[in-house]
Amino acid sequence: MALSADDKRTLEENGYLLVPGLVAPDRARAALAAINASLGRNGLPPDALPRMEALTFCPELVNDAAILDLYRATPLVQLAEAALGAGRVREPRDAQIALRFPTPGADRVLPRPHIDGLPRALNGVAAGTLYHFTALAAVFLSDVGEPFAGNFTVWPGSHRALAAHFASNDALGTLAGPGATFPPVALPEPPRQLIARAGDALLAHYLLVHGVSPNLGPQIRYAVFFRLFHDEHDPAAISALGDLWRSWPGLR
């Protein structure tokens, strides 16, 4: 799979690319069946929900073949390598199973913007550190056909704004230091709730600011996320956050 000129322009300008129907229906159904079977067996203990929302639902499935095959047995591999370099992407060893349950009557308020890997009480990232990676990939396993249905929500162009900020500011101190808050960066565009169908796939820059909208619809939103690392990714190289396409040879 190659990136077209339009694909590259979309990634460069918006920080993400949504590819319709990239994952075959049988792959998506197999993953969905595994997740629903887990929910049926194990249920959802109320006291475990905050941690599952922060980390993953169905933790026993994060390295199950039905889940990992959404990446390693589909064109999502070729999409990632077209952007990050052929043979240069470490194969994910686990995934995040992200469910958003209906919340009838919730306010139609969009989420706070964030990037992944900041130290938080429930996500396992130690204070004073930053769990950064190269790209975020996702496969949607259910249709999200309207706003406020648990949509993955993005701030287009925010990756460029953050990279420009971190080129001249201490990223670790800003994001992971005592009392850290989201950096004081003007985001160039308003948030966009993504409309997707089961089998659609997403590739996004690590610095793309994102969140998830409330789910006011009747159905659970199912998605699986993969954190992707270029094979030269250095977890200690925080300064690399200011070099936007350092590990993206397909876009340089």
Among 99-108, 198-207, 212-221, 229-238, the range scoring the smallest mean pLDDT is 229-238
Among 102-106, 131-135, 226-230, 238-242, the range scoring the smallest mean pLDDT is 238-242
The answer on pLDDT for 130 being more than 90 is no
Is residue 244 within 8 Å of residue 205, measured between CB atoms?
yes
pLDDT value for 169:
73
Percentage of the chain beyond pLDDT 70 is 94
Q: Which CATH number fits domain 5-232: 3.40.50.450, 2.60.120.620, 1.10.3720.10, 3.30.70.2750?
A: 2.60.120.620
pLDDT value for 61:
98
Closest Cα partner for 81 from 133, 3, 20, 14? 3
Tell me the average pLDDT across 75-91.
Answer: 97
What would the pLDDT profile of 142-198 be if each residue is shown by its tens digit? 999 999 999 999 999 999 999 998 887 766 666 655 555 567 788 999 999 999 999
What residues does each domain of the chain span? 5-232
Report d(CA 96, CA 65) in Å as an integer. Answer: 13
Ramachandran bin of 124, using left for φ above 0, alpha for ψ from -120 to 50, beta for the remaining angles: left
Band (138; pLDDT cuts 50, 70, 90):
very high
The answer on pLDDT for 42 being more than 90 is yes
3 state DSSP class of 238: helix
pLDDT value for 1:
78
Mean pLDDT of all residues belonging to the chain: 92
Among 12-16, 31-35, 96-100, 114-118, the range scoring the smallest mean pLDDT is 114-118
pTM above 0.85, yes or no: yes
The answer on pLDDT for 59 being more than 80 is yes
What would the pLDDT profile of 199-222 be if each residue is shown by its tens digit? 999 999 999 999 999 999 999 999
- Phi, psi (deg, nearest 5) at residue 81: -75, -30
How large is the angle between the packed helices 76-84 and 65-72, nearest 10 degrees?
Answer: 50
pLDDT value for 160:
95
Tell me the average pLDDT across 51-57.
Answer: 92
pLDDT value for 136:
98
